[in-house]
């Protein structure tokens, strides 16, 4: 499973990049607004340090202006994936941009039926929002399973990009199903490292090693 980092904060991205865990980045208007900086500058900076897909979202809601914004965003860098909403005009824009060889991330997906439409419209990525479905007592992971099975049945090439991830369970269950990507907030990526038995085991190893009085690299080494 690939991990995209869900943030527009350059420093957060730089902090996690050395781990090799960042395969791409997703942003949205809310994440951009939090930075209080010029949108194009933020996106350019991210694309300079991240080689994988970087999602940048349109804010228009009608086809003509979505298309214009999408073409503009895609001109910022070669690894831009234009993010469009799962609406009729959004999918028309998806088809137009996909036909031009531009990556498209169709976002705000909440049903398998919507996911079918996105795949048929040429989406590179479909972003089902698992956490928001859980919030209304529907099964976000159940939706991932439905989409995966349908896409497999028809050999759709659209990748499932699990979004609105709130917990470790969302990550693990999505991976077990076979979703290709999860986009995670930086905090959740860091939580993946943590397990109390890891900390306990490391402490024991270091205490035992200290008793030997040795060093891996001798002082004269």
51 labelled catalytic: no
Q: Which residue matches tokens 């398998």?
A: 112
Contact between 43 and 73 (Cβ < 8 Å)? yes
The separation between the first and the last C-alpha atoms of the chain, rounded to the nearest angstrom, is 41
Calculate the alpha carbon distances from 125 to 34, 152, 209 in Å: 24, 15, 48
Q: What CA–CA distance (Å, rounded) separates 80 from 209?
A: 48
Q: Which of these, 106, 96, 149, lies nearest to 126 by C-alpha position?
A: 106
Out of 83, 100, 152, 187, pick the active-site residue. 83
Sign, CA dihedral 208-214-215-217, equals: negative
Q: Which residues are catalytic?
A: 83
């Amino acid at each position: 499973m690939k991990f995209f980092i869900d943030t527009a904060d350059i420093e957060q991205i730089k902090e996690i990049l050395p781990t090799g865990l960042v395969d791409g980045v997703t942003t949205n208007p809310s994440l951009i607004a939090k930075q209080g900086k010029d949108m194009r500058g933020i996106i350019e900076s991210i694309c300079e340090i991240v080689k994988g897909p970087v999602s940048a979202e349109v804010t228009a809601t009608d086809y003509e202006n979505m298309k214009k914004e999408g073409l503009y965003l895609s001109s910022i860098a070669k690894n831009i994936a234009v993010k469009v909403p799962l609406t009729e005009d959004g999918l028309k824009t998806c088809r137009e941009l996909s036909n031009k060889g531009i990556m498209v991330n169709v976002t705000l997906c909440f049903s398998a039926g919507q996911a079918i439409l996105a795949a048929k419209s040429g989406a590179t990525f479909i972003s089902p929002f698992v956490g928001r479905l859980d919030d209304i007592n529907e099964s976000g992971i159940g939706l991932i399973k439905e989409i995966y099975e349908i896409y497999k049945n028809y050999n759709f090439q659209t990748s499932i990009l699990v979004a609105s991830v709130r917990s470790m369970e969302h990550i693990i269950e999505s991976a077990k199903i076979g979703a290709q990507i999860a986009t995670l907030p930086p905090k959740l990526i860091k939580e993946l490292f943590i397990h109390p038995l890891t900390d306990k085991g490391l402490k024991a190893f270091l205490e035992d090693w200290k008793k030997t009085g040795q060093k891996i690299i001798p002082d004269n080494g």
